[in-house]
Amino acid sequence: MSEQVFSFVEEVNRRRSFAIISHPDAGKTTLTEKLLLYGGAIRLAGSVKSRRASKHAVSDWMEIEKQRGISVTSSVLQFNYGGHCINILDTPGHQDFSEDTYRTLMAADSAVMVIDCAKGVEDQTKKLFHVCKMRGIPIFTFVNKLDRAGKDPFELMEEIEKVLGIQSYPMNWPIGTDGNFKGVYNRKKKQIEVFGEGNHGQSVAKVISGDVSDEKLKGLLGDSLHDQLIEEIELLDMAGDDFDLEKILAGELTPVFFGSAMTNFGVQPFLEGFLNLTPPPAARNSNHGMIDPKTENFTGFVFKIQANMNPTHRDRIAFIRICSGKFEKGMQVNHVQENKKIRLSQPQQFLAQDRVVVETAYPGDIIGVHDPGIFKIGDSLCEDGSGVQYEGIPVFAPEHFTKIYAKNSLKRKQFLKGINQLSEEGSIQVFRRPHIGVEELIVGVVGALQFEVLEYRLKNEYGVDVVMEKLPYRYIRWVEVPEFDPDNFGVTMDTLIVEDEEERPVLLFQNEWSIERVKERNKDAVLRDISLRKA
Ligand code: GDP
């Protein structure tokens, strides 16, 4: 079979780039694996399993990094399905590495939220959902594990609306719950889709579909399930939110699909329904206004940096989201922030589990380029001299803080180098006490396990043993006032005033009560829990 040739515009239009978000164990990895299976990218499901191991312990995370020389934190899985070129922006499974997921969402055009039907909307789902909401990208919901006992589907819909504050529209409706999952009713096609017994989800599920009144399907389901379905369809049509594509695209209404990633039931209806609705790469905001992905000028931005992905080479990879134009291997581009010309010579893409060198790539794609230490998160690249610079990538609120020193003060130079590089990767945030200076460093992370990774990496990659003294702070706020004067800013006894790496004033709090007191005492100050990196 010869490969189909697409024009540049067709290449852009057929791209669908999204991230899957979920609370750990809801089934993100399993769903990713099944999407690859349907896309023909893997023959038998199970190949993504090695990634799954990565989330259980830090030691696994590091072992895998070491042995396989690839990043298990997040990369991109690309495959074709139904004429679309799909990029799944993979994210780490463990919630302590969720900052990585936050940043990856900056590069995605839509998100799929996986919910465990027995657990409903969980904590981590809420946090990740808010990042999607902030970006205004479309959010699709896959209610998973329908093969098992779970909450009532109507109750789940209500929970999504109440807890997340987003309207929902079920695209399909489960037939048979609590261990008796037989199929789904497709509301758009108004047809029943009954799944055939598969080989434990290892290959695609067979589907028999037909009209609601089809006697054969009725027989397959049995009278009571069929009657229940008819009742529920009526109820949905009467009581639910209306389908509204504009709201979906604005992230105000989430299309909901029911299924079971493990058995493959509902995976294909989801994939097809999702691809029908999820948009191709959209225009992105920059200092030159909105940039259309179909403009010829190649542009993109760095959303993730991962050092030492391959320990034998000590390389550092910058992940670039392409926003416009065609990328070609070896092309010369301007690094906008540094105002420097650079050649992108070893661009890589991550197909399922392999790294390959890419020759060409299009808007919506992610490429990894070798970074000799010139990139920072949020940096923009631009083919011509116009200096297009995309909006900065937010710095998310760390929730754990520690003081940190090198055990051996002679290693201070190495220590600072390591801290600096890891901070550029975005895996830690560094703060200083004003007037105390560099002697006392405070590091903040989103998830506590990141401290262990920090300690491990400083020792293994920079040869520095460190001492950490955990601090009691849990909340961070960036302060915005016309003139910040630390001596006259009213804070509570247990609040610490620090500066971030860009010398912006930051407050560390132990409890929410103190945040409220500080707000009351400083009416002219705005306290933010997310800050933009300076462009
Ligand atoms: P992740 O943490 O969100 O990536 O979740 P995983 O995909 O690793 O799944 C967590 C656990 O749930 C694993 O044991 C899966 O086998 C199981 N699981 C995933 N999908 C389903 C499903 O549809 N039904 C059932 N019964 N179990 C599932």
Distance of CA 170 from the midpoint of ligand 1 (Å) = 22
Confidence of residue 71 (pLDDT cuts 50, 70, 90): very low
Nearest to 108 by CA among 130, 139, 154: 139
Instruction: Name the residue at shortest CA distance from atom 9 of ligand 1.
Output: 27
How confident is the model over 501-513, as a mean pLDDT? 94
Q: What is the pLDDT of residues 265-319, one digit of tens each?
A: 999 999 999 999 999 999 999 999 999 999 999 999 999 887 765 555 567 788 8
Q: Is residue 125 within 6 Å of ligand 1 at its C-beta?
A: no
Distance of CA 147 from the midpoint of ligand 1 (Å) = 11
Q: Is residue 93 within 6 Å of ligand 1 at its C-beta?
A: yes
Per-residue model confidence (pLDDT) at position 466: 96
Q: Is residue 24 within 6 Å of ligand 1 at its C-beta?
A: yes
Q: What angle do CA 470, 475, 477 make, to 5 degrees?
A: 125
Per-residue model confidence (pLDDT) at position 36: 85
Distance of CA 19 from the midpoint of ligand 1 (Å) = 17
- Where does residue 63 rank: exposed (0-12), middle (13-18), buried (19+ CB within 10 A)? middle
Q: Has residue 53 got a pLDDT over 60?
A: no
How confident is the model over 91-116, as a mean pLDDT? 85
Instruction: Name the residue at shortest CA distance from atom 22 of ligand 1.
Output: 145
Per-residue model confidence (pLDDT) at position 66: 45
Instruction: Name the residue at shortest CA distance from atom 10 of ligand 1.
Output: 25
How confident is the model over 238-248, as a mean pLDDT? 92
Residue 153: which residues within 8 A CB-CB, separation 6 or more?
A: 117, 143, 170, 173, 174, 177, 258
Mutate to test the pocket of ligand 1, among 22, 23, 25 (most ligand atoms within 8 A of CB): 25
Tell me the C-alpha distance between 275 and 480, whole Å: 41
Q: Are 302 and 72 in contact (CB under 8 A)?
A: no
Q: Per the structure block, which two tokens stand in for 223?
A: 């009278």
Distance of CA 260 from the midpoint of ligand 1 (Å) = 9
Per-residue model confidence (pLDDT) at position 535: 46
Contacts 24+ apart (CB under 8 A), 345-348: 345/369, 345/370, 346/370, 348/317
Mutate to test the pocket of ligand 1, among 258, 262, 267, 270 (most ligand atoms within 8 A of CB): 262
Q: Has residue 356 got a pLDDT over 80?
A: no
Q: Are 286 and 300 in contact (CB under 8 A)?
A: no
Q: Is residue 261 within 6 Å of ligand 1 at its C-beta?
A: yes
What's 454-467 look like in SS3?
HHHHHHHHHCCCEE
Distance of CA 28 from the midpoint of ligand 1 (Å) = 7
Place of tokens 């199929």: 183
Q: Has residue 60 got a pLDDT over 50?
A: no
Q: Are 505 and 497 in contact (CB under 8 A)?
A: yes
DSSP 8-state secondary structure symbol assigned to residue 363: T
How confident is the model over 134-152, as a mean pLDDT? 95
Q: Per the structure block, which two tokens stand in for 44?
A: 């038998």
Q: Has residue 411 got a pLDDT over 90?
A: yes
How confident is the model over 175-192, as a mean pLDDT? 91
The atom of ligand 1 lying closest to the CA of 22 is: 3
Per-residue model confidence (pLDDT) at position 310: 55
Per-residue model confidence (pLDDT) at position 209: 86
Q: Are 522 and 454 in contact (CB under 8 A)?
A: no
Per-residue model confidence (pLDDT) at position 395: 84
Highest mean pLDDT among 44-58, 229-243, 426-440: 229-243
The atom of ligand 1 lying closest to the CA of 24 is: 2
Q: Has residue 379 got a pLDDT over 90?
A: yes
Per-residue model confidence (pLDDT) at position 42: 57
Q: Is residue 278 within 6 Å of ligand 1 at its C-beta?
A: no
Highest mean pLDDT among 313-322, 424-433, 515-524: 515-524
Highest mean pLDDT among 41-45, 206-210, 290-294, 427-431: 290-294
Tell me the C-alpha distance between 482 and 180, whole Å: 62
pTM for this model (two decimals): 0.87
Q: How far is CA 257 from CA 110, 154, 335, 400, 532, in A?
A: 15, 13, 42, 36, 34
Highest mean pLDDT among 73-87, 189-203, 271-285: 271-285
Confidence of residue 350 (pLDDT cuts 50, 70, 90): low
Q: Is residue 150 within 6 Å of ligand 1 at its C-beta?
A: no
Residue type, 502: E
Q: Has residue 50 got a pLDDT over 50?
A: no
Distance of CA 123 from the midpoint of ligand 1 (Å) = 17
Q: Per the structure block, which two tokens stand in for 72?
A: 């298990």
DSSP E strand stretches across 37-145 = 76-81, 84-89, 110-116, 139-144
Instruction: Name the residue at shortest CA distance from atom 6 of ligand 1.
Output: 27
How confident is the model over 7-13, as a mean pLDDT? 96
Per-residue model confidence (pLDDT) at position 488: 87
Q: Are 379 and 302 in contact (CB under 8 A)?
A: yes
Binding site residues for GTP, as ranges? Answer: 22-29, 90-94, 144-147
The atom of ligand 1 lying closest to the CA of 148 is: 26
Q: Is residue 259 within 6 Å of ligand 1 at its C-beta?
A: no
Distance of CA 29 from the midpoint of ligand 1 (Å) = 7
The atom of ligand 1 lying closest to the CA of 260 is: 23
* More confident of the two residues 56 and 488: 488
Per-residue model confidence (pLDDT) at position 368: 84
Instruction: Name the residue at shortest CA distance from atom 26 of ligand 1.
Output: 145
Distance of CA 116 from the midpoint of ligand 1 (Å) = 9
* More confident of the two residues 325 and 308: 325
Q: Is residue 91 within 6 Å of ligand 1 at its C-beta?
A: no
Q: What is the pLDDT of residues 305-315, one digit of tens each?
A: 877 655 555 67
ipTM of the complex: 0.99
* More confident of the two residues 285 and 438: 285
The atom of ligand 1 lying closest to the CA of 32 is: 7
Distance of CA 87 from the midpoint of ligand 1 (Å) = 21
Percent of the chain with pLDDT over 90: 56
